[in-house]
Copies of this chain bind each other. A is one copy, B any other.
Amino acid sequence: MPTPSDPTTGLDQVLDALAQRFGNRFSVNETVRQQHAHTLTWTANEPPDAVVYPQSTQEVAEIVRLCAGARVPVIPFGAGTSLEGHVNAPLGGVCIDMSQMKRIVAIHAEDLDCVVEAGVTRKELNEALRHSGLFFPIDPGADASLGGMVSTRASGTNAVRYGTMKENVLALTVVTASGEIMRTGSRAKKSSAGYDLTRLFVGAEGTLGVVTEVTLKLYGLPEAIVGGVCPFPSVQAACDATILTIQSGIPVARIELLDETAVRAVNLHSKLGLTETPMLLVEFHGTDAGAREQAERFGEIAAELGGGPFTFAARPEERTKLWQARHDAYWAGFTLRPGAKGLATDVCVPISRLAECVTQTQADLAASGLIGPIIGHVGDGNFHVNLLLDMADSDEVARAEGFLERLVARGLAMDGTCTGEHGIGQAKIKHMAHEHDASALAAMRALKSALDPRKIMNPGKMID
């Protein structure tokens, strides 16, 4: 449990000042506060003392300066779709809700980049790009805010081809823990001028400052998109097909594993008639000829490994329906156990260990008597288990806790990470010491102290 080095003082004065300054863009309403600590995991709700809705970087700086002066915690809030208790306020404080910072500041089509305020969501950005022939590919499923995606180092289905947020942020505007406004980089595609401040804030989970503006890379819409589904006799075969596809240099845009349980859930939820075996959902981007060539090569690899038939989704509507079903997979899980609490977790391992890791995890689920569809961004060695839990059954909850410990231990033993894309938040803090050596943890603590000496930025998250 984190404790600030000094007791929080002057909270009331800060709240009064914010109320006066922000009027109806400030709230201490209990429902509003609880909504802002909402989390999709089982972490208890720990609401902030107040929520404020700035409309500019300058306003964010004002808020942070007020809080810093009185050592009041600051919790940045995007769309509230994080999964590990990132937006809870264990020490109270002021939640900065970015939802009124939605300006598309600039679209530089010639440079394939754009500048947006942090409250813009990925779907809103793509809507703004609709007539430009460009798109922003990073797609974690949820319609997260881009500031939030920066802060959790988000990735998702397209990352195998287009990279994660780490590779796609050119620069940030950040309000520092002392309330200064900082630009972390230029619009140059690359730079060797100094420490990589941009990458330091990507994935920092709001613990070093508030991201207020994001400069992102964009991509030309592919001329052709070809995709489809391919059943496999086993998870092993599906993973082996993935490995071979990546190794062959086929620039697959999306390659998603659904295990048999996940396929059953998706069938029930989205009224699809997919074969209920492990399945890969794939997509290829390129020229007409190029995308088709990629798909054909994938089909050959799949057949070699006993998979198939590889069914193309020729029409865009079919493809959209498939990917919507994939994105709804989290919600689809509940059809397997109506009324259950969902707990989504993720690990990521070197791809050569993926089949082993998923297979052992399925066996562990069975042995633990737990229901958990598995869905994976397998091109990156990343997979999710969506546990469906009866929280009233303390024995089941205990079994789930044991399972989660073993899942992380398994991933780490394979030279992987305890989270590929969800982040640490509150729920995985204990695993930081399992994953990182003492020197790395000491370095992270030194960075935190250097940039947030008052320990006000999203306390109780990522590192203790």
Instruction: Tell me the residues in window 427-462 of chain A with beta carbons closer than 8 Å to chain B beta carbons.
Output: 428, 431-432, 435-440, 442-444, 446-451, 462
Q: How far is the CB of A17 from chain B (nearest CB, A)?
A: 23
User: Which residue on B lies nearest to A428, using beta carbons?
Assistant: B193
Is A246 located at the chain interface by the 8 A CB criterion?
yes
26 cross-chain CB contacts under 8 A: A112-B247, A152-B192, A166-B196, A176-B443, A183-B439, A186-B415, A186-B417, A189-B348, A189-B350, A189-B351, A190-B380, A192-B420, A193-B419, A193-B432, A193-B435, A194-B424, A194-B432, A194-B436, A195-B204, A195-B447, A196-B196, A197-B444, A199-B200, A286-B290, A446-B450, A447-B447
Asked if A398 is at the interface of the complex by the 8 Å CB criterion, the answer is no
Partner of A203, one of B196, B380, B423: B196
CA distance A437 to B193 in the complex (A): 13
Q: Report chain B residues within 8 Å CB of A46.
A: none
Is residue A222 within 8 Å, beta carbon to beta carbon, of the partner chain?
A: yes
Nearest to A244 among chain B residues (CB) is B110
Q: Give Cα A164–Cα B159 distance, bound, in whole angstroms.
A: 17
Asked if A382 CB lies within 8 Å of chain B CBs, one says yes
Which B residues touch A462, using CB under 8 A? 194-195
Partner of A349, one of B159, B180, B188, B243: B188
- Asked if A276 lies at the interface with its beta carbon under 8 angstroms from chain B, I say no
Once the chains bind, are B352 and A108 in contact (CB under 8 Å)? yes
Contact of A348 among B188, B243, B251, B422 (CB under 8 A): B188
* Chain A residues with a Cβ closer than 8 Å to the other chain, count: 95
Given that A163-B167, A440-B182 are known contacts, is A190 also in contact with B421, CB under 8 Å in the complex?
Answer: yes
A335 contacts the other chain (Cβ, under 8 Å)?
no
How distant is the Cα of A144 from the Cα of B386 in the complex, in angstroms?
A: 46
Q: Please state if B352 and A110 are interface contacts (CB–CB under 8 Å).
A: yes
A203 to B200, CA, bound (A): 13
A183 in contact with B222 (CB, 8 Å): no
CB distance from A57 to the nearest CB of B (A): 12
A187 an interface residue at 8 Å Cβ cutoff? yes
Name the one of B111, B159, B293 contacting A290, with C-beta atoms under 8 angstroms: B293
Chain B residues with Cβ below 8 Å from A421 are 190, 192
Query: With a CB–CB cut-off of 8 A, which chain B residues contact A449?
Result: 450
Q: How far is the CA of A439 from the CA of B184 in the complex (A)?
A: 9
Pick from A152, A176, A351, A412 the residue with the most CB of B within 10 Å.
A351
Q: How far is the CA of A350 from the CA of B380 in the complex (A)?
A: 30
Q: Enumerate chain B residues within 8 angstroms of A176, measured Cβ to Cβ.
A: 439, 443
Within the complex, the shortest CB–CB distance from A74 to chain B, in Å, comes to 17
- Rounded to whole Å, the gap between the CB of A441 and the closest CB of chain B is 8
**How far, in whole Å, are A179 and B349 apart by their CA atoms in the complex?**
29
Q: Known contacts A190-B420, A220-B247, A246-B112; decide if A195 and B351 are in contact (CB<8 Å).
A: no
Chain B residues lying within 8 Å of A401, measured Cβ to Cβ, are: none
State the CA gap A450–B451 with chains docked (Å): 9
- Chain A residues at the B interface, C-beta cutoff of 8 Å: 108-113, 152-155, 159, 163-164, 166-167, 176, 180-197, 199-200, 202-204, 208, 219-220, 222-223, 243, 246-249, 251, 286-287, 289-290, 293, 348-352, 380-382, 411-412, 415-424, 428, 431-432, 435-440, 442-444, 446-451, 462-463
A290 and chain B: residue at smallest CB distance: B290
On whether the beta carbons of B193 and A418 are closer than 8 Å, the reply is yes
Query: Once the chains are docked, how many angstroms separate the CA of A251 from the CA of B286?
Result: 10
Determine how close the nearest CB of chain B comes to the CB of A168; give it in whole angstroms.
10
> Which one of A249, A251, A420, A432 has the highest number of Cβ atoms from chain B below 10 Å of its Cβ?
A249
Please indicate the chain B residues that have their CB under 8 angstroms from the CB of A194 in the complex: 203, 424, 432, 435-436, 440, 444, 462-463
- CA separation between A199 and B46, bound complex, in Å? 33
Cross-chain contact of A439 among B181, B203, B431 (Cβ < 8 A):
B181
Taking the nearest CB of chain B, how far is it from the CB of A190, in angstroms? Answer: 5
A424 touches B108 (CB 8 A): no
Chain B residues with CB under 8 Å of A442's CB are 180
CA distance A219 to B382 in the complex (A): 19
Q: Which residue of B lies closest to A288 (CB)?
A: B293
A190 touches B203 (CB 8 A): no
Those 3 A-B pairs whose CB atoms lie nearest each other, nearest first: A182-B439, A199-B199, A450-B450
